[in-house]
A and B are shown apart, each in its own frame.
Chain A
């Protein structure tokens, strides 16, 4: 389970070289906004060289391609299928885009004899996408949703604020859709890199709403995000005790049991399992 996702521009050798040292659970190699139109092909080539040369174990590798309306989209997808990555991130995603991308991937994966199918993380950053969100998230290739707060507020023609009231509805829609289909709800980046306190507050708030992870644009933000989205020692201890108590109860043939004087039921057991899933070794 991811906690942090770090955007890295795919055309920067120095940043690619160090992509894996910051402790991010996933790297998003960016071919979209961070890359000048004249650099798109160079970015694809550099990223290919990098990923073919260096192994990056223990992290999810994602490529953010350009959206379907751009002239770079097809080449991005064709290249992504050839790369040792796990996931494609699709900007400005709508239902029809997911269907088209999935079909295209199926054909390309067959042609390339790619064994592991690529997953898709759509970026929800248009108002219209919120009305299609259930169909988007329900698709088998979709592993999670990323809220794109900056583009969404442009689409809404409102100011993006640190409090984030303007994106509260979208945050909750992403969370409810993702949770309903047991997929990941990934929060929008906090763009003020110098504001550590603001980052922690924003991440804590997003987690309290139900986000499971947060993306970021600067490596300096990763430790704080990982900390916020990791279970606390107290939560881990309690979860372990719940599962131990459940095992004991099963051995004794008991249907009902308690921990710390409180009755434990199925949701608490499921929650304990979820907590322990999020513990990093």
Chain B
């Protein structure tokens, strides 16, 4: 495999498109759309077991199978399919789940025996990530962004043979939603590209009704229904943290972040905001909420994964709308059922670079980081040792789209500086990141001279990122440089389809 350097200096294979800058390719190229796969209306065939379903769908070696991750760590559907793959001794499959969680541990043995040889996903942690970083996957792992995955599907770059769509409620016409039945997960935004473009689509449900109350999955795209006893555990959809942190260091970071956003003048009528579900992000939202209440400001929307916290802000009149690609907790699911301005968006509407996505309308996004470097490149894919611990999800999409992208992180964690001279893996390019907020100071990307000028008289602790790195080194010492000389096991694919970085087998294994 011949390697070339992309514009960020990362080695990538020369037969793939190297990253050339955050909008170089998008500006140059037009949107590519393959034909939608529409089956038509009417009753859909209903099966009740995977064996018959596999027979009817004629699933063969070498096919590409896709899944969404709305049931997160409570998902039972992917594991049902894995069990049938194992039973049939299928080989050389490509799996394209939008995310992989610890619950998907049964995938490990199928990776090791060559049943699954390639994986395309946006986020991965747990035993499957470990098996891949140890080099067991015979092909490649492609790590997409949420917007990039929908772009890849609609353009035919990710060609899905069968989409298995976990559907908490569906009717015999193949219409479905995520807000009825015992396994509710709320909105189903990540399933939409698969539903529209996969060659065959099957809804897997444990709640088959005469008529669904709300149609989020359009039955005209659906080939079949599989009615099973359970598609998973809706309690497992809860994200790790959906409440503001009480950790004093993270609260300090959150307070300074909210103050920074306020001083930059973004919190005003029509404010458009996104934050993650982590404790620090929600603490930022809490501080912003107080500012909005004090100043009697109504924002236009909050977007992304929606939590109960954002639902409350919406119901208190602080955000006119919620654009929701996935619900992070059970209260958000209920809200989607009752609030008419709690609106589902598809993954494409959310982040597809060619679809004029919602991310492009954002004023501010607050994101986390596993590492950030002196060029403001951010890593949320691996840790500092190269272990795969996540992935972009919407990170790179929102960083690109928002007018102000703020990264919040502790300056040090587990005796390591979170600022590096060079991040281990680049997930999000530094040219799309504007500000870093830590407990010991705030660094503004020198590319944003306008922000530096605006904050000239601020009392916030603003300093160059190099100074923050030196503060961290005072505590931690200078770490030995890590090397990435293992076999390449995969790539991080930027939202435009170019390769922003490579992933390496963990050394010494």
Contacts and interface: CB of A to CB of B under 8 A. Distances in A.
A15 B255 CA distance: 19
B474 A18 contact: no
A17 B475 contact: yes
A22 B474 contact: no
A54 B440 CA distance: 14
B187 to A, nearest CB: 33
Contacts of A21: 249, 252, 439-440
A218 interface: yes
A18 B253 CA distance: 12
B474 A219 contact: no
B166 interface: no
B293 to A, nearest CB: 16
Contacts of A223: 255
Contacts of A22: 248, 252
A22 B439 CA distance: 9
Given A17-B475, A21-B252, A220 B246 contact: yes
B246 A18 contact: no
A54 B248 contact: no
B289 to A, nearest CB: 15
B248 A219 contact: yes
B251 interface: yes
Interface in B256-312: none
A18 B438 CA distance: 12
Interface string A1-39: 000000000000000011001100000000000000000
Nearest to A53: B474
Contacts of B440: 21
Nearest to B459: A281
A190 to B, nearest CB: 15
Contact of A54 (B246, B255, B439, B474): B474
A219 B439 CA distance: 13
A256 to B, nearest CB: 39
A223 to B, nearest CB: 8
B403 to A, nearest CB: 29
Say what secondary structure dominates the interface of chain A. Answer: helix
A22 B250 CA distance: 11
A220 B474 contact: no
Nearest to B248: A219
A223 B259 CA distance: 14
Nearest to A281: B459
B389 to A, nearest CB: 22
B447 to A, nearest CB: 27
A18 B251 contact: no
A164 to B, nearest CB: 25
A8 to B, nearest CB: 11
B475 A220 contact: no
Interface string B437-450: 00110000000000
A18 B472 CA distance: 12
Contacts of A219: 248-249, 252
Interface string B347-358: 000000000000
A12 B188 CA distance: 46
Among B252, B412, B474, the one with the most A-chain Cβ atoms within 10 Å of its Cβ is B252
B170 to A, nearest CB: 44
A18 B252 CA distance: 11
B244 to A, nearest CB: 12
B142 to A, nearest CB: 38
A220 B249 CA distance: 9
A229 to B, nearest CB: 18
Contacts of B474: 54
Contacts of B249: 18, 21, 219
Interface string A130-159: 000000000000000000000000000000
A215 to B, nearest CB: 16
Among A18, A218, A223, the one with the most B-chain Cβ atoms within 10 Å of its Cβ is A18
Contacts of A54: 474
Contacts of B475: 17
Contacts of B255: 223
Nearest to A23: B252
Nearest to B475: A17
Nearest to A18: B249
Among B248, B412, B439, B474, the one with the most A-chain Cβ atoms within 10 Å of its Cβ is B248
Contacts of A220: 246, 248, 251
Contacts of A17: 412, 475
A21 B471 CA distance: 13
A17 B249 CA distance: 11
Nearest to B476: A17
Contacts of B412: 17
A218 B475 CA distance: 23
Contacts of B246: 220
B371 to A, nearest CB: 19
Nearest to A222: B248
A219 B246 CA distance: 10
Interface in A172-194: none
Nearest to B412: A17
Nearest to A194: B246
B257 to A, nearest CB: 14
Interface in A109-124: none
A5 to B, nearest CB: 15
Interface string A209-228: 00000000011100100000
A199 to B, nearest CB: 14
Given A219-B248, A220-B248, A220-B251, 17 more contacts: A17-B412, A17-B475, A18-B248, A18-B249, A18-B439, A21-B249, A21-B252, A21-B439, A21-B440, A22-B248, A22-B252, A54-B474, A218-B248, A219-B249, A219-B252, A220-B246, A223-B255
Interface of A: 17-18, 21-22, 54, 218-220, 223
5 contacts: A22-B248, A54-B474, A219-B248, A219-B252, A220-B248
Q: Which 4 A-B pairs have the closest CB atoms?
A: A219-B248, A21-B439, A220-B248, A18-B249
